Amino acid sequence: MGKADFLSPKAIGNRIKSKGLQKLRWYCQMCQKQCRDENGFKCHCLSESHQRQLLLASEDPNKFMDFFSDEFKKGFLELLSRRFGTKRVQNNIVYNEYISDREHVHMNSTQWETLTDFTKWIGREGFCKVDETPKGWYVQYIDRDPETIRRQEEQARKKKQELDDEERSARFIEEQVRRGLGDKEPEENPVFTELKRESEEEKVAFNLGASCSAAGPSKSKSSSVFGATAKKPAALSSTKRKEVPSTSDSRSEKKKKKSALEEIMEMEEKKKQSVRMDNWLRPGIVVKVVTKRLGEKYHKKKAVIMEVRDKYAAVVKLIDSGDKLKLDQAHVETVIPAPGKQVLILNGSYRDTEAVLEGIDEKKFCATLTLDSGHQKGKTVEVAYEDFSKLA
């Protein structure tokens, strides 16, 4: 009986049944044929084509098993790295997504009998970090791509540089506070003495008019007196009294101290916020065109920024041809000149400061600059490559 036509109901039904995943035990990897039931798989194993494949595999069985194992490992790790990256995920989740592709290499043709054996093997070989939990085995891909490692090191270096800027700002605030407190003499603690009377008959009188003493001797006589006589006892007159500053003066001094400290902290906070900014385009600097959308004519060509629009766009003029282009900030990069040339700092604590390039440290991805403008002129600083550019 011949095969049914392509558009016949039987052929369409067979194609519908063959879609999706089938039983793994009824799949022949050598022939790459999936059977729908046990009877079909048995008939396939007795077929002439399958027998020829078995004779071919019997010549070197290890070669075929190693090939299938390598293909399975590559497909599994590629899906893990592309889909989940370096996140920790359960191995069953990755495997279910891997076998959703009908053309994948099945595990029954590899050297591993179970998914757990394969998970342990990739952990021993160092491809992933694996750990066992009550919910099952978890895997975490280890990315050893040189470009990824370089990008992670660069991000760590930038983070360290930001932390260094914050530490310098904190030290500057502490120095300002220390100088402000060092100019004033420390206040002495008041000494309190016990009040004693010379005789039982004498009565103690208290002068509560602190402001009356400043008003004059005439008003001091009308002070409040507790008792029958206003005579001050000898014990009180001989007691040493410490002059205490008025409440209004102490409050004003505290207010001045607090306001001065607040001003310093606000100034440093504004400075810290302005250390790193997203936009760095400045007129008059030399940049390099890195986008390929404009063609090879402008790719890797140097240009001078003539005008900055909306912070993130610029009108540039190419040095070679003189053509003018409007480019986004992401389409250009900074240019590092030869030592001794003038540069402009575009980001960081010394933003918009002109400097002279002294040298380049390739290991740290930074350069040594001598400030040529501002109140810190002559100071030598280290600035990252992307934070300065050549002046036109």
Total structural domains within the chain: 3
pLDDT band at residue 23 using 50, 70 and 90 as cut-offs: low
Q: Which stretch of DSSP H or E encloses residue 147?
A: helix 146-182
Work out the percent of the chain whose per-residue pLDDT is above 90: 17
Residue 85 and residue 171 share a domain: no
Q: Using pLDDT thresholds of 50, 70 and 90, give the confidence band for residue 225.
A: very low
| pLDDT score, position 235 | 40
Does residue 31 sit in the same domain as residue 131? yes
pLDDT of residue 236 exceeding 60: no
The rounded distance, in Å, linking the Cα atoms of 39 and 43 is 6
Same structural domain for residues 135 and 35?
yes
Q: 48 is written with which tokens?
A: 């002439």
Task: Return the higher-pLDDT residue of 220 and 38.
Answer: 38
What's the CATH code of the domain at 45?
1.10.10.2030
Domain residue limits at 159: 154-178
Same domain assignment for residues 129 and 47: yes
pLDDT, tens digit, for every residue of 82-94?
888 888 999 999 9
* pLDDT: which is higher, 152 or 186: 152
Summarize the confidence of residues 234-262 as an average pLDDT.
50
Are residues 36 and 126 located together in one domain of the fold? yes
171, 68: one domain: no
What pLDDT sits at residue 230?
A: 41
Residue 225 lies inside a defined structural domain of this protein: no
Least confident of 134-148, 184-198, 309-323: 184-198
Q: Which tens digit of pLDDT belongs to each residue from 261-300?
A: 777 777 765 665 456 788 889 999 999 999 888 888 888 8
Tell me the β-bridge partners of 366. Answer: 361, 384
Both tokens of residue 389?
């550019």
Q: For residues 164 and 92, state if they share a domain.
A: no
Give a yes or no: residue 184 inside a domain: no
The residue from 113, 141, 169 where one domain ends is 141
Contacts of 36 (CB under 8 A, 6+ apart): 17, 18, 22, 23, 26
Residue 308 tokens read as 């900055």
35: amino acid identity, one letter: C
* Same domain membership, residue 133 and residue 31: yes
